[in-house]
Structure 1
Amino acid sequence: MVLNERAHDLLLGHSFAQRQIGYIHTLEIDYGESMEQRTLLEVEVAAEKKRQKSSTAHHKYRAQASKQLHQVIEAAMHKQLEDIDSVIHETIGIQDSVPAILDILAVRSASVGRLEPLVKDLSWLGRELVAFVNLPFYRQQRNKHTSVKVDNPLLALRYIGLDNLKFVVPTFAVRHWMPHSTEPFPLLKRRLRDNSMACAIAAQEIAKLNGVNEVHAFTLGMLLDVGKIALVRIYLRIFELVWQRQVTKARDEQKKDLHTALLELKPDPLFLSTLLNKQSMKVTATVIEQMAFRYLPFNAVMQQLTTPLAKNDEYLPLTKVILKARCYAQYLSLSEHQLVESDETERWFAHFNFSKEELDQLTKCNFDRFHIQIN
C-alpha cells in the first residue's frame, strides 16, 4: 500500500513524491557552525515577530480557503461521476466504435473487412495508423519491394495486420483519451502514458508465461488507468471553474484577505494523488462495464480488483497477471527516480508472488515499444 501510494505521488511530481516520504535535500542540512551575525535591535526583533505572526496567520487562512474550496470541488466531482455516460463520452471522449473494434479483435473470426467501416468513423485512429506504419523502424521491417509510403488508413490496416492491431489499437485509443494539458503538473500526462504502456507490456509478457491470453492481458493492462484519465480531467476542469467562481465572489464582496488567499491557490497534488489512489480503479471498473464488451472477460477481473476477495475464493488467472503487471509498472517508475529501495522491491515482488522466470523475462523487455513484427 505504501509503495502504491508513492507511485501515485510520483505521477504528480518527483519533488512532491520526495516530500511525501520525508526526503531531506542536502542543501538544507547544516554541516557546520553558522556565521556570527550582529545582534538585532529591539525594534527589528519586534518587526520580525510581527512578520512571522502575520505570515502564519495568512498560511492558516489560505489552508482554510483551500479546504473549503476542495469541499465544493469534491461534491461537484461526486455529482459528475454519477453520470457515467457523460464521463465516458464527453469527459474521456470514448466513441462507441472503439469498444466495438476491441471486441472484434478479440475473436478468431476477426477480419480487416469488419474493422474498415468502424475505422472510417474514427478519423484520429486512421491518422495514427498511417503515421505508425510509416515510422522508419516499422518501414524497415517491411518487404523492400513494398516499402512505399502509406497514406490510406484502410491500407495501413492491412499492412499492420490483425495480430498486430490487437496491441496497436488499444494503445492508440488510450493515448487519444489522455488529457491535452495537465498543468500545473506538466509531466503527469507523459507519466500516465508511460505507465499504461509499461503495465500493458508487462501484462503481455507475464500472461505468455502463465498460459493466459496475452491479448486480453495487454488490452486490460492498457485500459487500467482510464479511471485516472477521467479523474484528472474532471478535477482540473472543476478546480478551474470553482476557483474562478470563488475568486469573483470574494472580489465582488470585497473580501480582500479571502481574495488574496484564493489567488495563491493551485490544484492540490495531495488531494489529486489521494483521489487517484482511492477512486481510480473503481472508475475504471465502471467505465469498462459500460463499454459492454461481449468477448473480452474484463468485468469479473475488475470486480476482484475493486472489492475484497471473498473467503476461500481465488484470484482469476488474468487478475493475478494484472496485479503483477501494475506492480511492475509502478516499480519501473519508482526505480527510475530512485524512490524505492532494494529491500522494499524484494518484499513487493514477494507479496505478488513473482516467479524468477517472470522477473528474468521482464528485465529483458523494452517497455517503450510494441513487441510486434510487421511482415
Structure 2
Amino acid sequence: MVLNERAHDLLLGHSFAQRQIGYIHTLEIDYGEQMEQRTLLEVEVAAQKKRQKSSTAHHKYRAQASQQLHQVIENAMNKQLEDIDSVVHETIGIQDSVPAILDILATRSASVGRLEPLIKDLTWLGRELVAFVNLPYYRQQRSKHTSVKVDNPLLALRYIGLDNLKFVVPTFAVRHWMPHSTEPFPLLKRRLRDNSMACAIAAQEIAKLNGVNEEHAFTLGMLLDVGKIALVRLYLRTFERVWQRKVAMAREEQKKDLHTALLELKPDPLFLSSLLSKLSLKVTATVIEQMAFRYLPFNAVLQQLTTPLAKNDEYLPLTQVILKARCYAQFLSLNEHQLVEKDEVQRWFTHYGFTQNELDELAKCNFENFHIQIN
C-alpha cells in the first residue's frame, strides 16, 4: 500500500513524492553557524514578531479555506461520478465505436472489413494509424514495393494487420483520452501515458510466460488507468469551476481575507494523490463495465481487484497477471527516480509472487515501444 501510494505521489511530481517520504532537501540543511548579523532594534523585533504572527494566522486561514473548498469539490465530484454514462462519454470522451472495435478484435471472426466502418467514424484514430504506419521504423519493415507513404486510414489498417491492431488500438485510444493539460502538474499527462504503456507491456510479457491470453492482458493493462484519467479530468475541471465561484462570492461579499487566501490556492497534489490511490481502480471497474464488452473477460478481474477476495477463493490467472504488471510498472517509475530501496523492491516482488524467470524476462523488455512486426 505504501509503495502504491508513493507511485501515485510521483505522478504529481518528483519533489512532492520526496516530501511525502520525508526527504530533506539540500536547501533546508543547516551547514553551520550563520554569519554574524547586527543586533535588531527593539522596534524591528516588534515588527518582525508582528509579521510572523500575521503570516502564521494567514497560513492557518488559507489552510482552512482550502479545506472548505475541497469539501465542496469532493461533494461535487462524488455527484458527477454517480452519472457514469456522463463520465464515460463527456469526462473521458469514450466513443461507442472504441469498445466495439476492441470487442471485434477479440473474436475469431474479426476482419478488416468489419472494422472499416467503425474506423471511418473515428477520425482521430484514422490519423493515428496513418502516422503510425508511416513511422520510419515500420516503413523500413515493409517491402520496397510498399514502402511508399500511406495517406489513407483504411490502407493503414490493412498494412498494420489484425494481430497488431489488438495492441495498437487500445494504446491510441487511451492516449486520446488523456487530459489535454494537467497544469499545475505538468508531467502528470506524460507519466500517466508512460505508466499505461509499461503496465500493458509488462502484462503482455507476464501473460505470455504463464499461458494467459496476451492480447487480453495487454488491453486490460492499458485500460487500467482510465479511472485515473477520469479523476484527473474531473478534479481539475471541478477545482477551476468551484474556485472561480468562491472567489467571485468573496469579492462580492467584500471578504478581503478570504478573497486573498482563495487567490493563493491551487489544485492540491495531496488531495489528488489520495483520490487516485483510493478511487481510481473502482472508477476503472465502473467505466469498463459501462463499456459493455461482450468478448473481453474484464469485469470478473476488476471485481477481484476492487473487492477483498472471499475465503478459499483464488485470483483468476488474468488477475494475477494484472497485479504483477501494475506492480512492475510502478517499480519502473519509482526506480527511475530513486524513490524505492532494494529491500522494498524485494518484499514487493515477493508479495506479488514474481518468479525469477518473470523478472529476468521483464528486465530485458523495452517498455516504450510495441513488440510487433508490420509486414
- Alpha-carbon distance, 1:29 to partner: 1.3
State yes or no: 1:151 paired with 2:151.
yes
The match for 1:291 is 291
Q: In 1, Cα distance between the equivalents of 2:164 and 2:274?
A: 36
- State the Cα deviation string for residues 117-148 of structure 1 (Å, max 9, x = none): 11011000000000000000110111112111
Q: In 2, Cα distance between the equivalents of 1:217 and 1:302?
A: 12
- Alpha-carbon distance, 1:202 to partner: 0.2
State yes or no: 1:252 paired with 2:252.
yes
Residue identity opposite 1:204 in structure 2 = Q
Q: In 2, Cα distance between the equivalents of 1:315 and 1:156?
A: 39
The match for 1:26 is 26
Larger CA deviation: 66-75 vs 19-28: 19-28
The match for 2:100 is 100
SS at match of 2:245: helix
The match for 1:10 is 10
Q: In 1, Cα distance between the equivalents of 2:233 and 2:161?
A: 33
Q: In 1, Cα distance between the equivalents of 2:341 and 2:221?
A: 25
SS at match of 2:145: coil
TM-score by length of 2: 0.99
Structural mapping, 1:326-345, within 5 Å:
326-345=326-345
- Alpha-carbon distance, 1:26 to partner: 2.0
Residue identity opposite 1:201 in structure 2 = I
- State the Cα deviation string for residues 34-88 of structure 1 (Å, max 9, x = none): 2222221111111111000000000000000000000100000000000000000
- Alpha-carbon distance, 1:27 to partner: 2.7
SS at match of 1:145: helix
- Alpha-carbon distance, 1:32 to partner: 2.2
The match for 2:314 is 314
Identity over aligned pairs, percent: 89
The match for 2:205 is 205
State yes or no: 1:174 paired with 2:174.
yes
- Alpha-carbon distance, 1:33 to partner: 2.2
- State the Cα deviation string for residues 234-259 of structure 1 (Å, max 9, x = none): 00001000000000000000000000
The match for 2:57 is 57
Q: In 1, Cα distance between the equivalents of 2:30 and 2:272?
A: 34
Q: In 1, Cα distance between the equivalents of 2:190 and 2:318?
A: 27
Q: In 1, Cα distance between the equivalents of 2:144 and 2:368?
A: 26
Structure 1 unmatched runs, 5+: none
Q: In 2, Cα distance between the equivalents of 1:145 and 1:80?
A: 53
Q: In 2, Cα distance between the equivalents of 1:31 and 1:235?
A: 41
Q: CA RMSD in A?
A: 0.6
Residue identity opposite 1:101 in structure 2 = I
TM-score by length of 1: 0.99
The match for 2:277 is 277
The match for 1:374 is 374
State yes or no: 1:71 paired with 2:71.
yes
SS at match of 2:146: coil
- Alpha-carbon distance, 1:28 to partner: 1.8
The match for 1:301 is 301
SS at match of 2:102: helix
State yes or no: 1:243 paired with 2:247.
no
Q: In 2, Cα distance between the equivalents of 1:143 and 1:317?
A: 39
Q: In 1, Cα distance between the equivalents of 2:131 and 2:249?
A: 48
Runs of 4+ residues deviating >3 angstroms: none
State yes or no: 1:115 paired with 2:118.
no
Residue identity opposite 1:256 in structure 2 = K
The match for 1:138 is 138
Q: In 2, Cα distance between the equivalents of 1:88 and 1:34?
A: 58
Q: In 2, Cα distance between the equivalents of 1:94 and 1:27?
A: 45
Residue identity opposite 2:173 in structure 1 = A
- State the Cα deviation string for residues 157-214 of structure 1 (Å, max 9, x = none): 0000000000000000000000000001010000000000000000000000000000
Q: In 2, Cα distance between the equivalents of 1:151 and 1:326?
A: 36
